[in-house]
A and B are shown apart, each in its own frame.
Chain A
Amino acid sequence: MKFKHCLAGVAALLATSAMGPLAQAGEFDGVTVNIMTQTGAIQEPLQRRAPEFEKLTGAKINVIAVPFSDLYQKVLTDWASGTNSVDAAVFAPQWMVDYIAGGFLEDLTDRVAKEPKIKQDDVGAFFRDFSEKYDGKIYVLTFDGDFHMMYYRKDVLDAAGLKPPTTWDEYLAVAKAVNGKDMDGDGQPDFGSCIAKKRNAQSYWFVTDVVGSMTQSQGTSQGTFFNTKDMTPLVDNEAFRKALDFLKESSKYGPPNELNMDVSDTRPLFTSGHCALNLDWGDVGTLSVAPDSKVKGKWGAAVMPGSKQVLNWDTGKLEDCTKDNCPYAIDGVNHAPFAAFGGWGGGINAHAQDKVKDAAFAFFAYMTEPEQSNIDVTIGATGFNPYRTSQLQYSDMWSKAGMTEDEAKNYLGAINDSMSSPNMILDLRIPQNQKYQQVVLDEAISRFLSGEIDEEATVKAVVDGWNDLNDQIGKEDQLKIYKATIGAK
């Protein structure tokens, strides 16, 4: 037995020296890893790399894709019920807290420390410190850098003599000015602004973009969802109302069915040249240089617009920015880039068999290694956006992906501006955050935008809904966790 083992080891060693990277050939022969994630983007790179990895190590990676809207619950029920069909999952780090509460996620801290090829130092500080970790331990390996940015059409704005907006007021002004112009040369009028506002999709994140730039000005640990004193929702105030106004007003300059559009609708709309302004994740950048894009060389990206006024938490009123209340303001404008969602990452089922866990970790490590990752983040279809410092330099990989130096510098500059901002907003990561955002906030926003309820009723619906949840789940516990996730004192 021992001798056999030894032989296998020698064989593996030989094989490794020949093959090169990471895991040993045949190390995981006969091991099958079921990895669940969403369909399409994210699924694509995992599925594409699975055969490569199988060739290297013998582990069979079985990618199971489910629609995004079902992913959270599917993984949760599989793990909570003890079915454990799913050995590992690639999901939003936002959900981590619920998975950890049940003890379903494997602590990866030691494994990461022992695997130099991951080059953990190269991972953006925000992802290293916030996205991957909970309570000081690493549970997730980041594959994707996710935060919201603003995209604009350089040619359209230039033609109108306008600059890319830096505040939300300017955003509306620009959208209004260019709305109805022909932007793709087909003689038809196009749209000033495209934002995904469909229900049960991504719309609630865009609310936080706007609110956050007014509620959070003192850095990530100030927080933007709740008052860190007593867990009061930061909703019944001028900032939230102004954000609602913004959303409603921006609809005037958007496509007629904007209320039924999720990002999957707005992205092709932007890349096919129908929108002057667009809010989205980093994906739009890589999609804009994809072969079928019609906006190549005509687009730009920038950090999310901000606000010249910020909220006084005590009075609920907006106040002009000064040195004290906006320490991180740029040209008097407080920006708060929103790490919405937090970037797709891989976590491993704590109850999987050891061999399977090892194989899953090896696969995730393989995915995140710069050699693979640096290529994947330049491809639009992967859904992966840059998250490593080394990916933010213009290099061959970007030119190979079809980005000109100008485009890349602009795009990567915007990413860098966002990623390095000390005032970045961390997405809500308290237990059952789905109910706060996907149910209460999303539903209220959808009803507001469709005209079912007015602004006051919307504010009330969100405040009541969040307070209700706080009471149900336990206000004190939620406050403690909320403060812990954002690092508030």
Chain B
Amino acid sequence: MTKSIDYNHLIQADKVHGSVYTEDAIFEEEMEKIFQNSWFYVGHESEVKEAGDFVARDVGRSALIMVRDKDATVNVMVNRCSHRGNNLCNEMSGNKRNFSCLYHGWVFGLNGELLDVPYPDGFTKDKKDHGLQKLVTDSYRGFVFAHFDEPKVSFDDYLGNAKKLIDRACNLSPEGEIDLTGGWVRQKFDANWKMLPENDTDGYHVNYVHQSFVQVIPSQYNEFVGGEDTNKGVIRDWGNGHTEIDFAAGYVSTLDWLGSTVEKSKSYVEKMHAAYGEEEGDKRLFDGPPHSCIFPNLFLAEMNIVIFQPISTNTCVQWSTPMFLKGVPELNFKLLRQSEGALGPAAFLLADDATIAERAQKALKAGTPWCDLSRGVDREIVREDGVRESRMSDETSNRGFWHHYRSVMLGEN
């Protein structure tokens, strides 16, 4: 007997029920409703530059391959032979002329078409009907998203304001493009996957979880610790579950976000001026990158790109890679080291976030079932365009995530 899950009860205006993190039945529904029947992020076109380049990527329950076709289109397919279901591609990335299955030798093209069946006489069905399962895909500035079926929500409507966030990231390159070739560090969390997007745009925990970081490391975040009144960061709910901590208002000088200065990054500044003019170039170099989660599984983590991968109710993986800027390879070494410093299992920040999330995962199973998310509910503002904003320590971003999550789980989106 299956009991239907009452998401309107579990997710309310200013609180969520602990079972959303701990119930297997909810996790099962998420895999279907969020990671099959909604748009989700798969990868970036710069990861598959040449025809035949591919990356294998697990999203939700599905092992996927993202591959560059001969005609330059990027295809996303299920990494599963259409014959007897074997895993087609065991490598994480590489280049192939086609995909052939080790089990019985079936061969598929870069577009998923079944090309060859060994000993063809015994197989009389039409090969056309036995290609790899191909997903509906769309992309914005190289960010590739996919959907298992014909989407109910158009790609544009799904992305909504997230386009502005992606623009903010890409606009830091004098060529307007990012380049994800730095390799993926993967960190395992013994916690529910939703704690990742929640925590990554939570501006309230920094002084506590990261007090050891704040104590010993001067960084661009120093302007954002201390009293609430002096903290100029802005928390934002962009709609559609896309959320942000905007640090720009708190930066003191150009390139603060890079831990650099105009003098130290002369060539980069010159390239930005040449590409966008002095005024616009300077504005981009002052405001810096977004710190924004794009529902459900992409995090524009300042100068990093992060993917959230649910594994089970109690485990997930955070993928991270430095966001290289096309046209400015001289920044790469610094970006690599900054990425390792902030993100990944040994990082000054994320190691502690993992521990806190894992403690929460254990504690949520017991006691009072509710988690309060009311902080700032009476002082956040709703802009004319519907975007909600508040102080950095407010839970506006978390409410934005959960309210959109509820609508997806209720089948409204």
The answer on A and B forming one complex is no
